[in-house]
Structure 1
Amino acid sequence: MAIGLKNSGLSGLNKGLFISFEGIDGVGKTTQVEALRDFLQARGLEVVVTREPGGTPLGEQLRNILLHGGAISARTEALLFAADRAQHAAQIIIPALRRGAVVITDRYIDSSLAYQSGGRELTMQDVCDLSEWASNCLWPNRTYLLDMSEKDAAVRLHGQADRMESAGLDFARRTREAFLDLSKQNAQRFCVLDATLPACDLSKLIAKDVCKLMDNAGIGGEKSPESPENQGF
């Protein structure tokens, strides 16, 4: 199922750039989000960093329920994620894009598709329709999928797991496969990266790609005195 940047019914979003980071738990998304934020801010750009679930006061309450609230049915979980996403898009993402900011989110719709339909075995079309309705069909310009085996990711977690992370290796395997399937179906939007690479090497690869995206989109910002290859992350 090919899905991508539709932004139906929305205007003025081409002033900014919308980037998401995806992957199973333990692949290092937060590290790369922070590195990219620092790189872009050094170029004089407004950068809004956010996450799902969460990102808004309501979203943080929903995050606590989703990650620490005990057993939740698959349909209830999908609806709670959609509620979080609706508020997140309306309150944080869309206003920032209209200002011309670069929005970086740690997880977005692809996580729902991978976790709820891949890991939880719901219908992907149902999850996609629900997420598109919640977000007004707002998709990222670029999605970075940090990929590694579920066993390597589990080692990184050091046994510190929330409800989602405690679901087990089989769940992580199915979720990883769902992410990889999504990346193949949406190759123009996705950039799949080997998450076992050193963090600084990943940061440089991502920074180079984002610079190309900004050039193609005509997004400004001060030219960095150093290329991504030479900047420290």
Structure 2
Amino acid sequence: MSLTDEAISRIRALILSGELPPGARLPPEHQLAAQLGVSRNPLREAVKALVVARVLDVRRGDGTFVTSLEPRLLLEGLGLAVELLRDDTLLEIVQVRRMLEPAATALAASRISAEQLDEIGEHLNAMRAACDDVEKLNHHDAAFHRAVVRAAGNETLSTLLDGISGRTLRMRVWRGTVEAGSSHKTVSEHEAIYNALAAGDTTLAQAAALMHIGTTETWLRSVLGDVEGSRDQHGEEETL
């Protein structure tokens, strides 16, 4: 472990122990360095790293503070990390969504308010009206799912799913562009989710979400299989 990593670990231990709770101001640099048993240079690098991770917040002229440590703040970098993943991990991202989102949808069915259901219904109506506009359709598609997950009332789950939504949204735009009739299939699947939420049926809501994401995963598998087959054929032709 490097000296910087050691400093990070010790600051994190202070936070986890409650000695530095959310919103607390860190001691002056020389005092904290002595407390942690590290020199100032590794401490400065550790603070920089924790600022990037949104664990600490440097306020010029005021000091360095522990952030709120809320899930949305700490996990907001997930979206950037997902954006940087290679294209061959797209199927894995969809699989993660398939594991998480049906559970979130079931939870939403048990907790959703009338106002939240109205918001979801508005996005569904907008999707119906935008069947011939792939970009607009997918904009409301993404908003529909964000509203459903928010209705689950679990900020950590909502943040995790938000983090992968950007990558899967581009895939859905791609599907809508190349597959005839996909827009109407998409609207129909979202109607099933909405109806299950409106009925407060957790089992049906989970099944509807699973079917919707499963359809997307099946389509992606077929596309990736066609691409791989094309590459193999191209490679054989080059060899010949």
| TM bucket normalised to smaller | under 0.3
Greater relative contact order structure (CA < 8 Å, 6+ sep)? 1
Which structure has more strand as a fraction of its residues? 1
Instruction: Give the TM-score of the pair, scaled to structure 1.
Output: 0.26
Instruction: Give the TM-score of the pair, scaled to structure 2.
Output: 0.26
Which structure has more helix as a fraction of its residues? 2
Q: Rg bigger for which structure?
A: 2
